[in-house]
Structure 1
């Protein structure tokens, strides 16, 4: 196997090294690829010092022909690299969030279907049986009643900037790091904290939304259902003009100052045809009911409510579970796991390679999750209510919004050209 994008002592917001180290428990690591030579050397030393080292993933795929690849690059590189890996014949574990745009999700879904390779996204909350799987099982089994809504807090992004630019380190290929995004001068904040730049990511909406919106949507709308109405408000950093033309930004015709530009605060409501809704906010409060949390999901129906995050699953419906209830929930959880036993997220990926099954975080479910995340950001950018057709995967009679479903790639760096090169 091989690892692409492994982070290291000069990195920050990516888990490439940790997921690659985890994967190496199940397969033999032979090669590492990173645009930062320091990171490839550090990673190689952790694996005996004899790994073949590359800067360009295309060269690595051509020479090594790995059976399995982990991808832990910054977000804007996920889909182009994943497509190349899949088309080379590799099974892929890709860190979240998978996509930069809605159309990227359609594109990677199509390639997974065409190649038939195993593809797991690193939303590890899906493999948490005692917390998130149990919460989903309780919601889907009626333990909080009908008319269930989800209230989701994911934190807000910082709003600092503008920042000074400097020369890139000699052993970092900055042009390749920027890749399909618009050309930009080097600054440490762009590299370390890329999640807060729309050029490379989607802020907290795609960072933590990829986790919590995923769990909430799995519970509320299993299958292919998606939201139909999206509305809300939010704030962007001072570096973003109030009348900024986001369509021009997505088309590569406009740029922003060299500072963080993703939403710092927000409150977005997504409504499904069923009447259920998800409320996505940076911090959820209901002072009259003493509800206040910065991170987590509150499921509320006409019988009660439960709260779940990475530390706990609480609420009266949880406290009142009987042995018989827990047995029923265990059966439901087994169904959510697609028949597989409880295991780590990485173990699930390799089990699917062995038996040909679909992983617990497959491309179809994650594309639907990321669509909802992107819909939230688009609603913030346009500052108005949006109508979405989840079957057609288009905005309804709204060409301005439809224009924000894709982005123009820098010449020579589109997913198609890089996969085919």
Structure 2
């Protein structure tokens, strides 16, 4: 096959995953979507801006909202005031103005409210909340940025969507498989936009790696191997008094009520199955997502799961997998291997029986990479195949694609620009009514894959999965692990 024909294959296959026919789950989601009301309120406008622009006082430029109209910049609320929230809020502030912040640790929320990057160098006084429901009850907030611990993602996303707010929410999208199903319903019912923080989807070289894998250039028997890094170990940890200003009951939310241990919350929450899924839902939410897309399986799920891992079962210890390895097999014959990787470099290896490439947040490398990126047809074909992802103010910079021989010269600013594009995509979709690049359906599929991987590690036996029914086949124990008992008063509900 010539290089030209190979790139035609890239375009054809990539378009199938970006623009063409919907998967059954996407069609199901569309069928649940309510009809738009004939009257257009301010919030209705924000949901249907592209169709209703002439009926509102808002004016959008091709790049961003005009700042000299007091109503032209969206009003934002921040929920979850940790390190990741700081990054997300900085990016979001380029597109709107924060008016309120919320965290169950009041001290954290107050420090956020005093941040000049959020309060317009002191020109705005940001209201502070410790209960997200109070923030969501406000009529003057259009978009919510959520960067809480994982067990609060779905409850807050659901509450925000049903309150008529658009949402930028951190990954992983959910704590359990069943929460994915709940969140699909919430998006469909609300008509609002949810963008999940799987920002590698907006990264140029990850998209190029996907196109290479789907082109057939790598050969047959395509396999993706995701190196995620080792999980943390530690404990037993000691019970301590709850710090002043922290609502520990509310921090725990839907999870069991337990005494306060500092290592349970803030940055180390992800090493407890009660609140997260360890490396599989931390880095796995990024790398398994890209790998599943590269394998041509982002519209479905695996049919077989197996794996094993080392866990600490002692009380008051980190209990997510420390070392692990497993495999997801898909109906199209491809395989996704996930492992801690030991000392191997974090990233994704895509390999067929002819060629292989490796991609992570710093590089895209492989024998064929320089050869195909040097061909001028690559630049045109990949842009066409990506459906305009790289074009315009909300895409990536309108420049020639990189020659990766000198990739080591790239600095952190390159990655920052990509993150801004992912955040910018949310605001672009609010304006146009388009589907965001990290939509609830396809991210839901890769989130389920992460949860399936974790269930496989914990049960340590071969599991069969029906991706259409979204149930394990003949395994009651595994099916019981698709959900968790939610503590009274913190149940996730859709009226």
Report if TM-score (shorter chain) is over 0.5.
yes
**Structure with larger Rg:** 2
- The one of 189, 209, 213 aligned to 2:284: 209
Q: Which residue of 2 aligns with 1:267?
A: 325
Q: State how 1:30-45 maps to structure 2 within 5 Å.
A: 30-45=99-114
Q: Deviations over 1:304-338 (max 9, x none)?
A: 00000001000012021122234322322336679
Q: Secondary structure at the match of 1:58?
A: helix
Range with greater deviation from structure 2 (142-151 or 336-345): 336-345
How far is 1:222 from its partner? 4.1
Question: TM-score by structure 1 length?
Answer: 0.88
How far is 1:233 from its partner? 1.6
Q: Which residue of 1 aligns with 2:476?
A: 399
Q: Which residue of 1 aligns with 2:385?
A: 332
Q: Secondary structure at the match of 1:263?
A: coil
Q: State how 1:216-227 maps to structure 2 within 5 Å.
A: 216-227=291-302
Output the CA distance in 1 between the equivalents of 2:223 and 2:388: 22
Cα gap change, 1:115 to 1:337, in 2 (>3 Å): farther
Q: Which residue of 2 aligns with 1:27?
A: 96
Q: CA RMSD in A?
A: 1.7
Cα gap change, 1:281 to 1:223, in 2 (>3 Å): closer
Contact 1:65 1:88 (8 Å CA) reproduced: no
Q: Which residue of 1 aligns with 2:159?
A: 84
- The one of 405, 415, 427 aligned to 1:350: 427
How far is 1:415 from its partner? 1.2
Output the CA distance in 2 between the equivalents of 1:31 and 1:132: 35
How far is 1:139 from its partner? 1.0
Cα gap change, 1:335 to 1:28, in 2 (>3 Å): closer
Q: State how 1:15-414 maps to structure 2 within 5 Å.
A: 15-46=84-115, 47=119, 48=122, 50-129=125-204, 131-192=205-266, 193-237=268-312, 239=314, 257-283=315-341, 293-321=344-372, 322-334=375-387, 341-342=395-396, 344-414=421-491
Q: Secondary structure at the match of 1:69?
A: strand
Q: Secondary structure at the match of 2:368?
A: helix
Contact 2:298 2:446 (8 Å CA) reproduced: no
How far is 1:138 from its partner? 1.0
Q: Secondary structure at the match of 2:301?
A: coil
Unaligned 5+ runs, structure 1: 8-13, 240-256, 285-291
Output the CA distance in 2 between the equivalents of 1:223 and 1:299: 15
Q: Secondary structure at the match of 1:293?
A: coil
Contact 1:194 1:201 (8 Å CA) reproduced: yes
Q: Secondary structure at the match of 1:83?
A: helix
Output the CA distance in 2 between the equivalents of 1:31 and 1:60: 7
Output the CA distance in 2 between the equivalents of 1:400 and 1:44: 46
Contact 1:35 1:172 (8 Å CA) reproduced: yes
Aligned length: 387
Output the CA distance in 2 between the equivalents of 1:196 and 1:59: 30
Output the CA distance in 1 between the equivalents of 2:168 and 2:113: 19
How far is 1:116 from its partner? 1.4
Range with greater deviation from structure 2 (65-74 or 385-394): 65-74
Q: Deviations over 1:4-26 (max 9, x none)?
A: 1111xxxxxx5122212211110
How far is 1:299 from its partner? 0.4
